[in-house]
Amino acid sequence: MNTKKVLEEAKELDKKYNIFITINENFDGKFPLAVKDNICTKDILTTAGSKILHNYYPVFDATAIEKLKKRGAGIIGKTVMDEFGFGTFSTNCAYKIPKNPHDPKRCCGGSSGGSAAYIAASKYAEFAIGQSTGGSITCPAAFCGVVGLTPTYGLVSRYGLIDYANSLDKIGVLAKSVEKASSCLQMIIGHDSKDSTSVKKKQGIQKKKITIGIPKEYFANVDKRIVVQVMKYVKKLEKDGFKVKKISLPHTKYAVPAYYIIALSEASTNLAKFCGLRYGLSYSSEEKGFNEYFSEVRTAGFGEEAKRRIILGTYVRMAGYRDQYYLKALKVRTLIIRDFKEAFKKVDVLIAPSMPMIAPKFSEIEKLTSLQQYTSDILTVAPNLAGIPQLSIPCGFVDKMPIGMQILGDYFREDDIIAVGKQVEKYG
């Protein structure tokens, strides 16, 4: 690996597409690894896309990064993301906004937009590390025309991840191919004593014949051209011997409100530690009480969307509203999990569009309300609430922009979705 050429390419791509928050001038390794900026990297600036962490240099590597370094990875840089993962289009970063390599007037998707853009544009990088809370790997993978692999919750250690929502966050992979995504995943899985939610992979028996489920709810309110394209690939799979069944996931319509109540409740708690005392943004605290100092730091350090989500999350956790909103959202989550469990009794994988639209133009995003942006996640939040694995794979183009097909599997059945993904990949 010519480290000089890799570094030169990274700088050139950053100029064109705003991919990196930080480029590692000391890059050295057998292969380049771009890392989403909410994952800790020793001695390399890690901001989570926020001004409040503008000067945070971790003294340790996240477990996933440590494992990849042992395999020869060299960190080329930390990629642009929505602040703390708060967004669908990577337009909420405090430093810059990444541009889609297929059309710089369009977004990359969020919140792992920079990682997806780097894989789409780089000649040297085969995979990058991203993170998903409600679809933050699937969305940019679809918009940028790359493969996005989000594993079962707990399969990859979260140690070293700057949390958005602990019960939802998953570290995963963006890659040029299904094989490369699978290879990277194998390098980072495994139980970690530093993360109580991490698990040993449960080995299932590889099925000889895989049955595909088509959930009707995931094809409603989706650009019809995307539906047509996804179904073309489903018909090809059916022609090649895969059995296809139509199924229903009836509680999908409640996924977005349940997701945002749960995720923002957890986020408001997680972000309380960013108060300007231990690390990150700070000011002179002379002659100031804690509340005044705390407010001053967070007012300056957090962006508009982060403030909105902190306030919403705090509101639904307040006495009097916890029962009315938060506990009801947890009950809805249980119903969504049951939907998937029932579905996987009938089929082995589910196939649906990754996103309901192609990557929107920045001029279009500016006109969207916060609620409209939140509902863009309708196809990705339910699988994340359930914690099941997802694979987004390119399946053609609409208006010269890539679109994605997502393949969903049962818990710890990454092998099933990868097998179907490899077959889809053969169709070109």
Q: What is the pLDDT of residues 358-397, one digit of tens each?
A: 999 999 999 999 999 999 999 999 999 999 999 999 999 9
Its domain, for residue 294, covers 1-428
Distance CA(346)–CA(52), nearest Å, equals 48
Q: Is 221 exposed, middle or buried (0-12, 13-18, 19+ CB in 10 A)?
A: exposed
**CA–CA dist 159, 197 (Å, integer):** 10
Burial class (CB in 10 A: 0-12, 13-18, 19+), 120: buried
* Of 212, 224, 218, residue with least CA distance to 353: 218
Q: What CATH number should be reported for the domain holding residue 264?
A: 3.90.1300.10
pLDDT, position 297: 92
Alpha helices (runs of H) in 190-289, residue ranges in sequence order: 224-239, 255-270
Annotated catalytic residue 36: yes
First to last CA, the chain: 28
- pTM comes to 0.97
> Residue 259's closest CA among 338, 320, 169?
169
For position 200, what pLDDT does the model report?
83
Residue among 135, 113, 120, 130 at smallest CA distance from 390: 135
Q: HSE (CB half, 13 Å, CA atoms) of 231? A: 14
Query: Which one of 50, 90, 111, 265 is the catalytic residue?
Result: 111
- How many angstroms separate the CA atoms of 218 and 125, rounded? 32
pLDDT of residue 100: 98
Give the helix ranges, DSSP H, for 71-122: 113-121
Distance CA 233, CA 210 (A): 15
Helices 178-188 and 63-70: crossing angle, nearest 10°? Answer: 110
Q: What is the structure's pLDDT at 206?
A: 65
> Could you count the other beta carbons within 10 Å of the beta carbon of residue 238?
13
The number of domains in the chain is 1
Name the nearest CA neighbour of 380 among 237, 231, 259.
259
pLDDT of residue 213: 98
User: Distance between CA 327 and CA 340 in Å, rounded?
Assistant: 20
- Catalytic site residue from 115, 136, 182, 268: 136
- Residue 370 annotated among the catalytic residues of the structure: no
Sheet with strand 31-36: strands edge to edge: 20-23, 73-79, 31-36, 127-132, 170-175, 147-150, 390-398, 401-409, 349-353, 211-215, 243-247
Which residue stretches of the chain have pLDDT < 50?
none
Q: What is the pLDDT of residue 204?
A: 61
User: Closest Cα to residue 100, out of 280, 315, 305, 364?
Assistant: 364
Q: What angle do CA 281, 285, 288 make, to 5 degrees?
A: 130
Q: Specify whether 111 is catalytic.
A: yes
